[in-house]
Amino acid sequence: MNVKSTPLNGVLIIEPDKFVDHRGFLLQVWHQQTYGNKGITGTFVQDNHSRSYKNVIRGLHYQLRHPQGKFIFVVSGKIFDVAVDIRLGSPTFGQWFGAILSDENHLQMFIPPGFAHGFCVLSETADLIYKCTDFYYPEDQFGVNWADPGIGINWPVEGPILSGKDSKLPFLKDIPRKNLPRFEEI
């Protein structure tokens, strides 16, 4: 397994070991001890399966009182997965990192609590699984507008398909500071 750091402290890209033979392949998606030894810690309490269609953007979402660390991998298709540092006081506040995750490259992304998360679909459909370190509470969901010019994400889609809710999310500069997570050294 190869773990690569990113410009955002704590956001990691994981390339799991893959064992291939004439029957197909096997890869270990998650092993608490192995991943923990590589710095990916936390107890995952909820797994989500998301299916989306080409040009869909979901996000950028975060939870404030119940922040979720997320461990993301694609089972089918291809996405551009994005983490945005929205932690007040962080040296990388307002910066983003994105990576292509697919059923071909088998890359995984770990996003610690305190970051906004979103993705867009590059294939006809995409199925992804994401493990969360806290439960989802609908009343605790917040978000940042996907097209925030202050963040400047280079989304690789034109004419994205959005939910009504996601299309109305505020820019980061307009979110009351009380509704943003605080930076804590990881």
Which residue, among 98, 148, 92, 149, has the nearest Cα to 119 in the 3D structure? 98
- What are the strands of the beta sheet with 70-76, ordered from one edge? 2-5, 12-15, 108-111, 70-76, 125-132, 46-53
* Res. 185: pLDDT tops 90: no
Tens of pLDDT along 95-145? 999 999 999 999 999 999 999 999 999 999 999 999 999 999 999 999 999
Task: Tell me what the mean pLDDT of segment 76-93 comes to.
Answer: 98
Distances (CA, A) of 30 to 109, 143, 145, 158: 12, 28, 31, 34
The SS3 call for residue 164 is helix
Take residue 115 and report the two structure tokens written for it. 């970051």
Active-site annotation holder among 61, 62, 106, 117: 61
Active site residue 22: no
Marked catalytic residue, from 35, 106, 117, 130: 130
> What token pair was written down for 52?
């989306």
Q: Decide if 61 is catalytic.
A: yes
The answer to whether domain 2-172 has CATH 2.60.120.10 is yes
Average pLDDT over residues 164-172: 97
Separation between Cα atoms, residue 154 and residue 172, nearest integer Å:
16
